[in-house]
Amino acid sequence: MSKKPIKNKVSSKRNVSKKIVKPLKKSVKKVSVKAGKKIVQEPIVMQPPRGMRDILPNEQEYWNRVRMVLDKEYPKYGFGRIDIPVLEYSNLFIRSIGKGTDLIDKEIYTFVTKGKDKVALRPEITAGVARAFIQHGMNVLPKPVKLFSIGPVYRYDRPQEGRYREHFQANFDIFGEEDSVLDAQLIQLAYRILGALGLKNVQFQVNSIGCPDCRKEYIDMLVSYFESKKKKLCKTCKARLKTNPLRILDCKEDKCVQVSANAPQTVDHLCNGCRDHFKSLLEYLDELELPYAINPQLVRGLDYYTRTVFEIWSTDEEGKKKSLGGGGRYDKLIESLGGEPTPAIGFALGIDRLVLEMKRIKAKSYENPKPRIFIAQLGNLAKKKSLKLFSDLERDGILIAESFGRGSLKSQLRTANRLGVEMTIIIGQKEALDETVIMKNMITGTQETVPQEKVLNAMKKILKSKPMIIKKKKINNI
C-alpha cells in the first residue's frame, strides 16, 4: 500500500505577518562531527570590521567625480602613475615615519605572516613610493621625478565622520629637486584639483620646521619651554616631551593649545638656508595669488618632514575647519632608507573627506553618459538578434541601453522613456525572421522598419544630430 504524500500547510496571504524581519548580523554557529571530534565553526559576521565600510554603486557619483578630476589633472603637471602594494615590511614605516609618532605607536596594523615576515598594512603611501624609487633605480631618471598614486591606507584610529580605519588617498611625490618653486607648484596643483571639484572655500596653512641642523637647537628650546608648563599639558603630551616634542604643537586638547600659543616658533629659529627657502615659497604663493596663512603650530605628524609643511583647510558655515589633506618636504627620506641623498616633496588628499565636503556644499557630481538609443526585444529568437546587434553597435562606440530580461515590450518601452532616449530599436519574432528592426522615435512616436544591415548607418546619422529634450510620458500604446 503506497503512502499518501504529506501536504505542507501554507499560510494564506492574509495570515502572513507584514513585519519585516531584519537580517541577522551573525550566522548561527555550526557544529560538525569529524573523526569523532566536534568542530565548532565560527559565525560569519555580515558586516565589515569596525571603521571600514562598503561604498555602494549609488554612492559612487562623487567618488567618480574625484577620480575623473585626478586622472585629468595629474598628467598636466608631468606626473606618472605608480601603483604599489598595500602591504610592506613593517620596518619600512618604522624607519621612515619614526618611533614616538602616534601613527607608529598607536595606529599601524602590523602582523607576522606564515613565513615569519613582519609586515604592515600601509598607513600612508609616500614611504612605499620612496622604497620603489630606490629599488627600481629611479635616481638615474631626469629630475625631477614626479609620481602619482591612489589607493587605500589603513590606520587603527578612532572612527568618526570623514575618518575611517580604511580610507583612500591620492598621493603626489616629487623627487630630485629642492627649489621652493616645486613646493609652490604642488600647492597650486592641490588648489587646481579642489577648484575642479567645486571646493572654493579653502585655505593653505603653511609653515617651515627647518632642517635637522637648525631644528636641534629649536627643539632644545621647545622642550625647555614645555618643561616649565608641564603641569598644564595633557597626559599624552607629557610623554611626547621625551619622544616627539614637536607633536605637542599639533595637539588638539584645549589646555595644550593654550600652552602652545606662546611657545617658541620654528620660523624664528631657522638657519639661513631654511629661512631663504621659506621666504621664496611665500613669494611664489603671493605671485600665484593662492590663499594661505602662516601657521606656527603646524608641524605634521611624521618624522621625515623637513622645511616646508602645509595643510589644506576647508571652512563650513559655522567656522569649523576641516583638513582635506596636507604634505611637505622630506629631503632626508630617501637617504634614511639607504638611497642616495635626494630632496623630495609631496602631499596627499583624503578622498573620503573630499567626498564628504562635496556632499556638504552640494558640489557637482559625476554623471554617467546618457544613452540616446534603446534596444527592446520580444521572444527568444529576437533576444538572440538583439544581443548580437547590441554587441555590434557597442563595438562601434555607440552607447546603448537595453533590458535583456523577461519584461514585456510595454515595460521595456516604459524603461526607454524613463531613460530619455531618442530612439528605440524594436525586434520581435517577425523582425527576427525577416532580419529587420523597427525604429521607434520616442519624441514623435513615429516608427519605420529598417533592414538590420542598415541599422548602424541609421544610428550614426541620428547621433550626429543635436540631442533633443524628451519629456517623459506614460506609455499607453505599443
Asked if 164 and 200 sit in the same domain, the reply is yes
- Domain presence at residue 236: no
pLDDT of 123 reads 92
pLDDT higher than threshold 60 for residue 329 = yes
Q: What is the mean pLDDT of residues 151-158?
A: 89
pLDDT of 7 reads 46
Residue 408 is inside which H or E element, if any?
A: none
Asked if residues 422 and 462 have their Cβ atoms less than 8 Å apart, the reply is yes
pLDDT higher than threshold 60 for residue 19 = no
- Domain presence at residue 135: yes
For residue 252, give the amino acid letter. Answer: K
- Domain presence at residue 265: no
Asked if 281 and 303 sit in the same domain, the reply is yes
Q: Which of 341, 361, 381 is the last residue of a domain?
A: 361
Q: What is the mean pLDDT of residues 440-465?
A: 82
pLDDT of 454 reads 85
Provide the residue range defining the domain that includes 118: 57-211+271-361
- The CATH number for 160's domain is 3.30.930.10
Length of the chain in residues, anyone? 478
Asked if 394 and 423 sit in the same domain, the reply is yes
Q: Which of 361, 385, 420 is the last residue of a domain?
A: 361
Pairing status of strand 423-427 against strand 373-377: parallel
pLDDT confidence bin for 440, thresholds 50/70/90: confident
- Domain presence at residue 299: yes
pLDDT confidence bin for 36, thresholds 50/70/90: low
Asked if residues 112 and 133 have their Cβ atoms less than 8 Å apart, the reply is no
Q: How far apart are CA 478 and CA 472, in angstroms?
A: 16
Predicted confidence (pLDDT) per residue in 369-388, tens digit: 788 888 888 888 888 888 88
Of 12-16, 98-102, 335-339, 389-393, the one with minimum mean pLDDT is 12-16
pLDDT confidence bin for 266, thresholds 50/70/90: confident
To the nearest whole percent, how much of the chain has pLDDT over 90? 39
- The CATH number for 382's domain is 3.40.50.800
pLDDT of 477 reads 42
Q: How far apart are CA 376 and CA 475, in angstroms?
A: 14
pLDDT confidence bin for 273, thresholds 50/70/90: very high
3 state DSSP class of 476? coil
Asked if 288 and 326 sit in the same domain, the reply is yes
* Rg, the chain, Cα only: 31
Q: What is the mean pLDDT of residues 193-206?
A: 93
Asked if 347 and 381 sit in the same domain, the reply is no
Q: What is the mean pLDDT of residues 204-215?
A: 91
Q: What is the mean pLDDT of residues 41-48?
A: 87
pLDDT confidence bin for 35, thresholds 50/70/90: low
Q: How many CB atoms lie within 10 A of CB 204?
A: 19
Whether the model clears a pTM of 0.85, i.e. scores above it, the answer is no
Asked if 193 and 336 sit in the same domain, the reply is yes
Predicted confidence (pLDDT) per residue in 126-154, tens digit: 999 999 999 999 999 999 999 999 999 99
- Domain presence at residue 18: no
Asked if 379 and 356 sit in the same domain, the reply is no
Which has the closest alpha carbon to 342: 177, 95, 106? 177
Cell of 379: 521572444
Asked if residues 266 and 209 have their Cβ atoms less than 8 Å apart, the reply is yes
Please identify which residue in the block is written with the cell numbers 609620481. 147
Q: How far apart are CA 234 and CA 239, in angstroms?
A: 9
- Domain presence at residue 470: no
Asked if 384 and 350 sit in the same domain, the reply is no
- Domain presence at residue 134: yes
pLDDT confidence bin for 10, thresholds 50/70/90: very low
Predicted confidence (pLDDT) per residue in 213-263, tens digit: 888 888 888 888 888 888 888 888 888 888 788 888 878 788 888 888 888
DSSP annotation string for 178-199: --HHHHHHHHHHHHHHHHHTT-
Query: What's the chain's average pLDDT?
Result: 84
Which has the closest alpha carbon to 147: 75, 84, 97, 80? 80
Count of domains observed in the chain: 2
Q: How far apart are CA 282 and CA 299, in angstroms?
A: 17
Q: What is the mean pLDDT of residues 417-426?
A: 86
pLDDT of 21 reads 41
Asked if 446 and 302 sit in the same domain, the reply is no
More confident: 318 or 418: 418
Asked if 64 and 122 sit in the same domain, the reply is yes
- Domain presence at residue 322: yes
Asked if 292 and 395 sit in the same domain, the reply is no
DSSP annotation string for 5-29: PPPPP---GGGS--PPPPPPSBPPP
pLDDT higher than threshold 60 for residue 432 = yes
To the nearest whole percent, how much of the chain has pLDDT over 70? 87
Asked if 443 and 349 sit in the same domain, the reply is no
Predicted confidence (pLDDT) per residue in 53-75, tens digit: 999 988 899 999 999 999 999 99
Backbone angles phi, psi at 417, to 5 degrees: -65, -40
pLDDT of 317 reads 62
Q: Which of 361, 384, 416 is the last residue of a domain?
A: 361
Q: What is the mean pLDDT of residues 279-285?
A: 96
More confident: 8 or 188: 188
pLDDT higher than threshold 60 for residue 447 = yes
Cell of 260: 602652545
pLDDT higher than threshold 70 for residue 472 = no
3 state DSSP class of 407? coil
Q: What is the mean pLDDT of residues 273-294?
A: 95
pLDDT confidence bin for 469, thresholds 50/70/90: very low
